[in-house]
Structure 1
Amino acid sequence: MNKLVRTIAVAATLVVAVASSANAGAVLDRVIATKTLTVAVGTAWGKMSFLNDKHELDGCDVEIAKAIAKYLGVDAKFVTPAWDFITAGKWEGRWDMAMGQMTPTKARAERLSFPAVYFYNRAVAVVHKDSKATMLSDLDGKVVGVAASTTQELYANHNLTPDWLGARPIQYQFKPGQMKPYGNGIQFEDLRLGDGVRLDAVLADESTALNAIQSGYPLRVLDEILYSEPGSIATLPGDKEFDDKIAIAIKNMKDDGTLSKLSIKWYGVDYTVEN
């Protein structure tokens, strides 16, 4: 009986090994076979990705994704799932890679793979222009909005443990009285209603905050930076060949200056190098 159990176990191990081998390169094979790279982006992620006047997806991340697709010799197709669906890692083949300048934390690395860092985000606090707040400590005890499933949410809860490459210890300079997570990207809409109407402040990456202000929102950014973090492309683990192709594409864009030019085009700042 024990021999039979051992035989079954060995057979099962062989099946798993064969299946794993068969899955190696599966994503890249699908992308090449369909001539399509399906990319998850957002419709209201500031200059990362948004719907332009023609109701077409546009933005820095969209252009970078198209450049990666061109390097692979395929077309880019875009889908727009919610951010928390992307970070959950349950993609089920609906997209091949995700943009969004995702911070490659250890917790996320349990579900996702991060083949290439292409951006460096600075997290800031944004207040209404009529707010009396001039420094981060003025937000102590206030109502603060954040995008759900982001490092800004962790910061607001004082649970952010920076575990990305080159991370510096976090210094919390205030404690919100209430933290409101948003999954639909309308935290700036609530803040623009007025100081303290629904929110006293929003925590966000600097580029998104400046985009809102340039779009006419009556907001301002407090001078102090909360923290800086790398932003990476995300894929599902298991296809090293696919990840390597993405990494090479991004390296080529860094080496020939394309990545810097796109950042400056969209943001007026080169966010592709760490400050």
Structure 2
Amino acid sequence: MKKIIKAGLFILASSTSVASLCVNAAEIRIAVDGSYAPFAQVNDKGELYGFDVDIAKALCKVMKADCKIQAQTWDGMIPGLKVGKFDAVISSMSITPERAKVVDFSERYYSNVLAFIGPKDKHIEVTDEDIKGLTIGAYRSTISSQYLEDHYADKVNIKLYDTQDLAYLDLKADRIDLLLSDKFPAYNWLSQSASNSSKLVANQDYEFKGEDIDINDQIAIALKKGSPLRQAFNQAIQDIRNDGTYQIINSKYFPFSIY
């Protein structure tokens, strides 16, 4: 009986400490896209902050890991991960079949839907007939841009941008009619105060158009194929969900759950 109890205690201890396995010996280098508010952006001091950054820090704390969070342009995320420039990407990356061929993914740490945004003074119904011939923008190499190309390439003019902020700028300058975006960064942009001149602001002139596009988009941590960190990150995600840390971070940025 003692042996059974000891074995059970060992299994319990192992399950609660798995998040610290394989992470104590070296620094974990984590890449984020610093131009994707409110998930990651850079303040006046050059420091990264945002939802993804807070999640990364919380996971590292649970894992008892020494982590270095660094900015990386979006197009360089997977190439940099593959060549060992960093160990993990915690940067609102969607799980897709194409990406899963070249990197491993953790369990999701939030879910995403797509949404169109456009000016309030333009009555646009998001139907094939109403948007025909319009110019629609999206952030390059994202689920939004892929969705546009897959579903609207023969109906609209597509304009892609190297950052989300550049897409916002063109929307405000009337160089595009609509922007297709992940909903949560768009929600953040629409919610910004017009009095804050240090940021791109949407004030009250723009709104969501049409219905949300739910494509079962799961956001996860990307890791090099075969990385031993996958199990540790999965356990850490569960831990911060269970102890309330995740909910505190979520409520800091959104008044609703994005999990």
TM-score (norm 1): 0.75
Which range moved further: 110-119 or 252-261? Answer: 252-261
- Map of 2:161 onto structure 1: 182
- Map of 1:24 onto structure 2: none
In the TM superposition, what is the alpha-carbon distance from 1:190 to its structure 2 partner? 0.7
Task: Judge conservation of contact 2:138–2:161 (CA < 8 Å) in 1.
Answer: yes
Classify the secondary structure of the residue corresponding to 1:209.
helix
Classify the secondary structure of the residue corresponding to 1:154.
helix
- Map of 1:237 onto structure 2: 225
Amino acid at match of 1:193: A
In the TM superposition, what is the alpha-carbon distance from 1:51 to its structure 2 partner? 1.6
Could you tell me how far apart the structure 2 residues matched to 1:202 and 1:225 are? 13
Structure 1: give runs of 5+ residues left out of the alignment.
1-27, 159-171
- Map of 1:46 onto structure 2: 37
- Map of 2:78 onto structure 1: 87
Change in 2 beyond 3 A, CA 1:201/1:189: same
Task: Judge conservation of contact 1:69–1:76 (CA < 8 Å) in 2.
Answer: yes
Amino acid at match of 2:58: A
Change in 2 beyond 3 A, CA 1:56/1:89: closer
After TM superposition, list the pairs within 5 Å mapping 1:150-161 onto structure 2.
Answer: 150-158=142-150
Task: Judge conservation of contact 2:81–2:87 (CA < 8 Å) in 1.
Answer: no
Could you tell me how far apart the structure 2 residues matched to 1:107 and 1:88 are? 14
Amino acid at match of 1:232: A
- Map of 1:65 onto structure 2: 56
Task: Judge conservation of contact 1:143–1:176 (CA < 8 Å) in 2.
Answer: no
In the TM superposition, what is the alpha-carbon distance from 1:232 to its structure 2 partner? 0.8
Kindly indicate whether residue 253 of structure 2 is the aligned counterpart of residue 266 of structure 1.
yes
- Map of 1:202 onto structure 2: 179
Task: Judge conservation of contact 1:128–1:219 (CA < 8 Å) in 2.
Answer: yes
Classify the secondary structure of the residue corresponding to 2:36.
coil
Could you tell me how far apart the structure 1 residues matched to 2:70 and 2:37 are? 16
Structure 2: give runs of 5+ residues left out of the alignment.
1-20, 193-200
Which range moved further: 200-209 or 93-102? Answer: 93-102
After TM superposition, list the pairs within 5 Å mapping 1:208-247 onto structure 2.
Answer: 208-215=185-192, 216-217=201-202, 218-228=205-215, 229-239=217-227, 241-247=228-234
Task: Judge conservation of contact 2:107–2:220 (CA < 8 Å) in 1.
Answer: yes
Could you tell me how far apart the structure 1 residues matched to 2:78 and 2:136 are? 22
Task: Judge conservation of contact 2:80–2:86 (CA < 8 Å) in 1.
Answer: no
Classify the secondary structure of the residue corresponding to 1:199.
coil
- Map of 2:240 onto structure 1: 253
Amino acid at match of 1:143: T
Classify the secondary structure of the residue corresponding to 1:189.
helix
Could you tell me how far apart the structure 2 residues matched to 1:174 and 1:93 are? 35
Change in 2 beyond 3 A, CA 1:73/1:203: same
**C-alpha root-mean-square deviation of aligned residues, in Å?**
2.1
Task: Judge conservation of contact 1:32–1:74 (CA < 8 Å) in 2.
Answer: yes
Classify the secondary structure of the residue corresponding to 1:238.
coil
Change in 2 beyond 3 A, CA 1:77/1:242: same
Could you tell me how far apart the structure 1 residues matched to 2:247 and 2:188 are? 18
Q: Which has the higher strand share?
A: 2
Could you tell me how far apart the structure 1 residues matched to 2:155 and 2:144 are? 12
Change in 2 beyond 3 A, CA 1:144/1:236: same
Could you tell me how far apart the structure 2 residues matched to 1:84 and 1:259 are? 28
Change in 2 beyond 3 A, CA 1:187/1:58: same
Identity of aligned residues (%): 27
Could you tell me how far apart the structure 2 residues matched to 1:173 and 1:182 are? 17
In the TM superposition, what is the alpha-carbon distance from 1:75 to its structure 2 partner? 3.0
Amino acid at match of 2:123: K
Task: Judge conservation of contact 2:34–2:72 (CA < 8 Å) in 1.
Answer: no
In the TM superposition, what is the alpha-carbon distance from 1:130 to its structure 2 partner? 2.7
Could you tell me how far apart the structure 1 residues matched to 2:152 and 2:68 are? 42
After TM superposition, list the pairs within 5 Å mapping 1:15-30 onto structure 2.
Answer: none
In the TM superposition, what is the alpha-carbon distance from 1:175 to its structure 2 partner? 5.5
Kindly indicate whether residue 117 of structure 2 is the aligned counterpart of residue 130 of structure 1.
no
